Amino acid sequence: MTSAHQPGQHSEVTLRVNGKPQTLRVDHRRVLLDLLREDLDLTGSKKGCDHGQCGACTVLVDGRRLNSCLLLAVALDGSDITTVEGLGGDGEEPHPLQRSFLDRDAFQCGYCTPGQLCSAVGMLDEAAAGHPSHVTDPAAPSGAPVPLDRTEIRERMSGNLCRCGAYPRIVEAIEDVIA
């Protein structure tokens, strides 16, 4: 019989996190966000709602942006994870979007910023790969890169909430990288 005090099942998983292989024994109930923050000390990814509603925990999993609070770590064996700490790669230089957010002052408290950055990186790749959004012209050629105007950027970034209301500057920072 299960009880709240009974330990969960564990499995060994190997992840590549910001370019480094990590083998960990994880409780099957552990979500990626907690594993990153508590086991790997990568506290850039933030816990806002813990329910998939705010986007503060967004990371890239095999290049796709996902809410890490909703992902069971045990299901990600073999995956490649990039957090805000790894966006700049191995070098000392920040990712161009990080530089752009700084230049545009695209934050206030900064709590949502790691998620905004990871989401924006994933979003740019999605648009370049021709993935349409809810506001993409249905007559646009299928599979062609989608031009990102402000409406597209706002729609595609709508899963990332900012309690400080830094949205206009976030959009400008993304536009600067596209230009």
Return the number of the residue (146 or 169) whose C-beta is nearest ligand FES: 169
Residue 83 lies near ligand FES (rule: CB under 6 A)? no
Return the number of the residue (54 or 84) whose C-beta is nearest ligand FES: 54
According to CB under 6 A, which one of 17, 26, 36, 57 is a site residue for ligand FES?
Answer: 57
Residue 76 lies near ligand FES (rule: CB under 6 A)? no
Residue 174 lies near ligand FES (rule: CB under 6 A)? no
Residue 102 lies near ligand FES (rule: CB under 6 A)? no
According to CB under 6 A, which one of 27, 52, 126, 176 is a site residue for ligand FES?
Answer: 52
Please report how close the Cβ of residue 110 comes to ligand FES at its closest, in angstroms.
Answer: 5
Reading the block at residue 42, the tokens are 């990568």
According to CB under 6 A, which one of 32, 36, 42, 54 is a site residue for ligand FES?
Answer: 54
Q: What are the contacts of 76-82 at 24+ separation with CB within 8 A?
A: 76/13, 76/15, 76/32, 77/11, 77/13, 77/14, 77/15, 78/14, 78/15, 79/15, 79/16, 80/15, 80/16, 81/15, 81/16, 81/17, 81/18, 81/32, 81/36, 82/17, 82/18, 82/118
Residue 71 lies near ligand FES (rule: CB under 6 A)? no
Residue 47 lies near ligand FES (rule: CB under 6 A)? yes
Sign of the CA dihedral 51, 53, 57, 63? positive
According to CB under 6 A, which one of 32, 35, 60, 67 is a site residue for ligand FES?
Answer: 67
CA 42 to each of CA 52, 142, 152, 155: distance values in angstroms, whole numbers, following the listed order: 19, 38, 31, 29
